[in-house]
Structure 1
Amino acid sequence: MNLPKRAEDAHSALAAAFNTGDVATVLSMYDASGIIVPEPGKPVSGEAQFEEAIKAILAIKGTMEIKTVYCLQTGNLAIGRSEWNITDGEEVKVSAKGIELMKQSEDGTWKIVIDHAFGAEGDLIA
């Protein structure tokens, strides 16, 4: 898995990683010192919790698609807003609007530090 060299490519790279179905490939997209919110109100951090969250999302069989609504970058930080879904044929299994904070590594690649998968939902509280 090649990590993105541009912040605006992080969403498509994340979808490609999820669509491999491989936990290690998906985990490579994240900075495990950050936070992932795999379901509203349940943020997790740390490598073990990240892996558990990724396995739960991968258990939803289907294809992930992520549309970048915007990506704003300053220096080695970027924030993105996404609209994503997991579909199986015509069936939409999960659909949401997320917010992601990315950080550029010293090697020039981008990793996701905060992934609030439902962070841009209009009815989200907290």
Structure 2
Amino acid sequence: MNLPRRAEDAHAALAAAFNTKDVLTVMNMYDVTGIIVPEPGKPVSGKEKFEEAIKAILAIEGKMEIKTVYCLQSGNVAVGRSEWNITDGSEVKISAKGIELMKQQADGTWKIVIDHAFGAEKDLVA
């Protein structure tokens, strides 16, 4: 899998990775020393916890789509706001609004350091 070479391409690359249903491909999109919030109020960090969270999401039948609302970059860091869903035919399995922090790697590619999948939901309380 090719990691995105532009921060604004990270959402599309992440959706494509999820749609492979390949844990290693998806894991490659993340800096596992960061944080993923696979469900509201339950942040996790570290390779094992990341893998558990990703496997749980991959277990949801359907196709993931991620729309980039915005991506703001300053140097080698960027923040993105997304609207994403997993649908199976016409059935929406899950839908949310997220916030992602990305960091450019030494080779010029981008990885997600913080993925708050529900971080932009209006009723979210920190």
Provide TM-score, normalisation by structure 2. Answer: 1.00
In the alignment, the residues of structure 2 paired with residue 40 and residue 114 of structure 1 have an alpha-carbon distance, to the nearest angstrom, of 14
Tell me the CA shift for residue 84 of structure 1. Answer: 0.1
Give identity over the alignment, percent.
83
Alignment partner of 1:93 is 2:93: yes
Please tell me the residue identity of whatever aligns with 1:71: C
Give unpaired runs (5+ residues) of structure 2: none
Task: Give 2:11's aligned residue.
Answer: 11
Poorly superposed stretches of 4+, deviation over 6 Å? none
Alignment of 1:113-124 (within 5 A): 113-124=113-124
Alignment partner of 1:49 is 2:21: no
In the alignment, the residues of structure 2 paired with residue 41 and residue 23 of structure 1 have an alpha-carbon distance, to the nearest angstrom, of 23
Structure 1 vs Structure 2 CA RMSD: 0.3
In the alignment, the residues of structure 2 paired with residue 87 and residue 62 of structure 1 have an alpha-carbon distance, to the nearest angstrom, of 5
Secondary structure at 2:50 match in 1:
helix
Please tell me the residue identity of whatever aligns with 2:93: K
Provide TM-score, normalisation by structure 1. Answer: 1.00
Tell me the CA shift for residue 98 of structure 1. Answer: 0.1
